[in-house]
Structure 1
Amino acid sequence: PPPFPPPGVSVPPVVVPTDADHALEIGRMHFPEVGSPGGPASLMVHEFDIGYLVYAGYPPREDPTALPPAPGGSNIVISKADGEVTFLPNFPPEPAVELYRRLQERPNTP
């Protein structure tokens, strides 16, 4: 999953992305460095009507029947309306977008 900033480190400012490339730039702040040990091999962006899903790509496993070395992880969605970043489970793009839509439909409760 994307790391949480350590105490005393500022959180990246909220920025509304202008396009998919800008969303990817913003998304990089929420994931380990691409190519770092245990980090993703790439980051991808899936644009949809109300946001940008940013998710990590990992190299294929040598044994495709083996379990992933580090199951889990997170995706993020960056809102096109206000730049808010929402963390989601590591689902494929379409189910992740559907989950994000359901979360946006819920009324805010104190």
Structure 2
Amino acid sequence: MSQPGAPEPVQPVPTTADEALAAARSRFEVLDTAGNPAPLHVVEFDTGFLIHAVMPPPPPGTQAPLGGSHMVIAKDDGAITYVPNFPPDSAIELYRSLRRADS
């Protein structure tokens, strides 16, 4: 069940990483520090596709900006969930716990 204001599920539901990336491009745009769209990367796992931006390393002596999010597209129903900008394995585990809590 969708929450009010939640993004519409991806239809048709992606079955490959390439399909998930194509679906994400129209819904998930992350800008790099120069204001350009950052390249997106997909990590496929058992129940979904984690899409995250690949950011260039910050200039020497500076810190990478904090914040941001990853998008997950569920394999079963195409539902879109946003999770914090954690390392991919941690973001996937958080997503799994959120889905368990919703069921």
Deviation at 1:55, TM superposition (A): 0.3
After superposition, what is the alpha-carbon deviation per residue over 1:22-58, rounded to whole angstroms, capped at 9, x for unaligned?
0001111222277794344310000000000000011
Q: Residue 24 of structure 1 aligns with which residue?
A: 21
Q: Which runs of 5+ in 2 are unaligned?
A: 1-6
Task: Give the alignment's Cα RMSD to 1 decimal.
Answer: 2.3
Q: Residue 77 of structure 1 aligns with which residue?
A: 72
Q: Residue 3 of structure 1 aligns with which residue?
A: none
Say whether 1:14 aligns with 2:10. Answer: yes
Question: When the two structures are superposed, what TM-score results if normalisation uses the length of structure 1?
Answer: 0.75
1:87 to 78, 82, 89: 82
- SS for the counterpart of 1:76 is strand
Identity %: 46
When residues 25 and 34 of structure 1 are mapped into structure 2, their CA distance, relative to the original with a 3 A threshold, is farther
Which amino acid counterpart does residue 10 of structure 2 have in structure 1?
V
After superposition, what is the alpha-carbon deviation per residue over 1:44-80, rounded to whole angstroms, capped at 9, x for unaligned?
00000000000001111121x5222x32111010000
Q: Which runs of 5+ in 1 are unaligned?
A: 1-10
Equivalent pairs counted in the alignment come to: 96
Contact 2:53–2:70 (CA under 8 A) maintained in structure 1? yes
| Runs of 4+ that moved beyond 6 A | 33-36
Say whether 1:99 aligns with 2:103. Answer: no
Deviation at 1:12, TM superposition (A): 5.9
1:38 to 35, 39, 51: 35
Say whether 1:55 aligns with 2:52. Answer: yes
- SS for the counterpart of 2:26 is helix
Q: Matches of 1:92 and 1:39 in 2, distance apart?
A: 22
